Amino acid sequence: MPLRPWSAIPIRDCAESLDPLPEAFFRIEPHPYAAVGAPYGEGATPFRLRRGVIQRLLRAQETLQALGLGYRLAIFDAWRPIAVQRFMVDYTIGIRCEAQGLDPQQDRPEVRSVIEEVGRFWAPPSLDPMTPPPHSTGGAVDLTLLDRSQQLVDMGSDIDAIGAVSEPNHYLAVANDAENATDRERALAWHKRRSLLADAMAEAGFAQHPNEWWHFSYGDQLWAWRTGRSLAVYGRTSEG
C-alpha cells in the first residue's frame, strides 16, 4: 500500500495524554473490529483519544445539539493500535477477495486491484514513527450521527464501505445527475446529513479524510496536510 500525501509532514508530538471517552458520547457496541477478532489486547479499549481531541469532540456535539434537530455524535472507532490496523487491513482484503472468488495470497492482477482499492481507505500499518496510521496517534475518530430515538442516522452508506459512495460529497454529484425527483431528494438528504456532521466537526477544528465521510482528525499528519500546517502535533502513541 502506498504512503499518503500527508506522510512527509514532520511530527513534533506534544505528549498529550490518551484518555477514555466521556459518557457524553454514544459508543457503537459491540465494537465492530473487536467483534471480528482484532487484537486490542487484554483490557485495552478503542474508545480513547488524545485529551485535546476529546475537548473538540465535545464542542462538535454541542454545535450539533444547538441546531435543535435531535442529533448527537455516535462513536464508531477511535484509537487503534498498529496490530489492529494490520489485522483489519488483512481482514478487509480477505473479505473483498472472498466475495470475488479470489485467493488473497496469489499474485494476480485482480488481487492487486483489491489491495489497491482497500488501500484508498485503510492506511498502511506502518511501524515507522514518522508515518503512523492516523488512528494510532489518538487524533483520529470515525463517527456518525445518532437521532432522538437513539438510532443511527442513515448517511447513505455504512462506515468502512469501500468505493466512491463513501466520499463526503458523493451524493451531491448523484443528486445533480438524478433523473427523477425522488432519487434527487433522497441523495440530497444524505448529502445534507453528511454536511451537517462535517460542518460541526470543522467548526471544532477537525479535518475530514478526503475519501471517508465518517473520518475526522485533529493534530495528526492528515490534519496538518488538510489545514496547511507545517507540523503534526500527534504521533503514534506509546500504547499503539
Domain boundaries of the chain, sorted by first residue: 18-227
Residue 87, helix vs strand vs coil: helix
**DSSP letters for 179-193:** SSHHHHHHHHHHHHH
User: Do the Cβ atoms of 57 and 73 come closer than 8 Å?
Assistant: yes
User: Do the Cβ atoms of 61 and 25 come closer than 8 Å?
Assistant: yes
Which ranges constitute the DSSP H helices of 11-103?
51-66, 82-99
User: Do the Cβ atoms of 48 and 138 come closer than 8 Å?
Assistant: yes
Residue 155, helix vs strand vs coil: coil
E-assigned strand segments in the chain = 18-20, 26-27, 48-50, 72-77, 140-146, 207-208, 215-217
% pLDDT > 90, the chain: 95
Query: Taking the model in full, what pTM does it have?
Result: 0.95
Q: 18-227 has which fold?
A: Muramoyl-pentapeptide Carboxypeptidase; domain 2 (3.30.1380)
- Please give the Cα distance from 149 to 113 (Å, whole number): 41
Q: pLDDT tens digit string along 168-192?
A: 999 999 999 999 999 999 999 999 9
Active site residues: 212
Relative to beta strand 72-77, strand 48-50 is unpaired
Q: pLDDT tens digit string along 13-31?
A: 999 999 999 999 999 999 9
User: Do the Cβ atoms of 18 and 138 come closer than 8 Å?
Assistant: yes
- Please give the Cα distance from 213 to 227 (Å, whole number): 17
Of 1-5, 19-23, 72-76, 103-107, the one with minimum mean pLDDT is 1-5
